[in-house]
Amino acid sequence: MTAFTPVLPELTAGYLRTGLHQVKGWLNVSTAVYLSGVEAAQRGAGVSGDVAEIGIHHGKSFLCLALDLPADQRAVAIDVFDDQAANLDQSGRGDRDIFEQNLATYGAGDNVDIVQSSSLDLEQAGFVAAGRRFRIFSIDGGHTDQITVNDLRIAERTVVDHGLVVLDDVLNRHWLGVITGLFSYLGDGGSLVPAVLVPNKLILATSTDQAKHCRAMFAEQFPDGLEKADVPLAGHQIDVYGDRPWLVRGEDGRSEPVTGHELMATITAARLAELEQQLRSTRAELDTTHRQLDRTRRQLDATRQQLRTAAQPLYRRAARRLPWLARPVRPVLRRVRAVVRRSR
């Protein structure tokens, strides 16, 4: 079912429509919609603060948060970039030059701060000491359990009360250090509260009340994306939002498909229902054909058995009366039996 995004600022809407597929990286299209929509909804609700991301690569998800920011808000990009010796698990390889080109191409503005550093060094560098200032903090850096715990702790101490923390690859089977680190963080008394799961990312709030507020905001902004509500996770209740073909609504009133979902977005509800009915009919026909084939096989087996049963006395009688004929026939019969067995 085609879904509509909330109304998005023009740069953000344009990036989703035509730019998302141009930036290399690993980001589900629907997740890009959710990130962009949440950022816009926060500003609309008057939540103040900056945005930040650990782990930039070429800026695919960072641009969902950094476009159209007010002049008094900053977008902070944290990555080791060319210092790959600090990329302990080789999870991605950021390129600062390409990232800065993408910022310029899609109009991120002059309010982007780039911190070239490992997240493990941020506290020592005074990053945490600056205090709470981020309304969205995205974590997509190192994927070991230790780094995940470290990054969650940094986000916990720098995000504002109404802010959100976004943890990437939480259910990625190739990077199980992330889910291990999440449960370690929660088990050790971490104060962030899981609220919403979108494709490949978990969104956490600063308290149980704020998690409820986050879930309510998602329900309002993305009613067509909800797949399952009140799912238990680590002692909390979360809502699960899935992948949809989206039409992006801009402030100019236009609704156009998200890059990568153009084909699905053009299928009307009536046409989709027709295709689903055709699929059900085809499956029913296949089931009928399979049942008919099974009956035919059983009939063939019964016929073969009848033929064998009928042939046995004739063969024995011929062997008694015409032994000189039975001897050369035996190898032929053995071959016939072998062929019959292979054909069953």
pLDDT at 46 over 70: yes
Reported as a single tens digit per residue, the pLDDT across 18-44 is 999 999 998 999 999 999 999 999 999
- Report which of residues 320 and 113 the model is more confident about: 113
Please classify residue 294 by burial: count the beta carbons closer than 10 Å to its beta carbon, then call 0-12 exposed, 13-18 middle and 19+ buried.
Answer: exposed
The answer to which of 114-128, 181-195, 248-262 has the lowest mean pLDDT is 248-262
Identify which of 216-220, 256-260, 271-275, 291-295 has the greatest average pLDDT.
Answer: 216-220
What number of residues does the chain have?
344
Which residues partner with 78 through β-bridges?
Answer: 54, 115
Kindly give the residue spans of alpha helices, DSSP state H, lying in 228-268. 262-265
Q: What is the pLDDT of residue 263?
A: 43
- Report which of residues 270 and 66 the model is more confident about: 66
- CA 222 to CA 232: how far, in whole Å? 21
- CA 109 to CA 314: how far, in whole Å? 96
Q: What is the pLDDT of residue 324?
A: 57
Reported as a single tens digit per residue, the pLDDT across 148-191 is 999 999 999 999 999 999 999 999 999 999 999 999 999 999 99
> Are 30 and 240 spatial neighbours (Cβ–Cβ below 8 Å)?
no
The pLDDT confidence band at residue 54, using thresholds 50, 70 and 90, is very high
- Report which of residues 213 and 327 the model is more confident about: 213
Residue with tokens 């997740």: 31
Q: What is the pLDDT of residue 249?
A: 94
Identify which of 203-207, 303-307, 324-328 has the greatest average pLDDT.
Answer: 203-207
Name the DSSP letter for residue 236.
E
Residue type for position 88: L
Reported as a single tens digit per residue, the pLDDT across 129-160 is 999 999 999 999 999 999 999 999 999 999 99
Q: What is the pLDDT of residue 265?
A: 43
Which residues partner with 166 through β-bridges?
Answer: 138, 203
Mean local confidence (pLDDT), 199-203: 97
Q: What is the pLDDT of residue 307?
A: 80
User: What is the share, in percent, of the chain residues with pLDDT greater than 70?
Assistant: 83
The pLDDT confidence band at residue 306, using thresholds 50, 70 and 90, is confident
Round the CA-based radius of gyration of the chain to a whole number and report it.
Answer: 31
Name 190's Cβ contacts closer than 8 Å, sequence gap at least 6: 152, 153, 156
| Spatial strand order in the sheet of 3-8 | 3-8, 246-250, 255-257
Q: What is the pLDDT of residue 82?
A: 79
CA dihedral 90, 102, 119, 38 (to 10 degrees): -110
Q: What is the pLDDT of residue 339?
A: 63
Task: Look over the chain and give the mean of its residue pLDDT values, rounded to a whole number.
Answer: 88
User: What is the share, in percent, of the chain residues with pLDDT greater than 90?
Assistant: 67
One DSSP character per residue, 286-337 reads HHHHHHHHHHHHHHHHHHHHHHHHHHHHHHHHHHHH-HHHHHHHHHHHHHHH
- By three-state DSSP, how is residue 101 classified? helix
Q: What is the pLDDT of residue 266?
A: 47
pLDDT at 123 over 60: yes
pLDDT at 264 over 60: no
Mean local confidence (pLDDT), 31-59: 96
Instruction: For each of the domains in the chain, give its residue range(s) and CATH number, in order of start.
Output: 3-267 (3.40.50.150), 274-343 (no CATH)
> Are 14 and 64 spatial neighbours (Cβ–Cβ below 8 Å)?
no
The pLDDT confidence band at residue 89, using thresholds 50, 70 and 90, is low
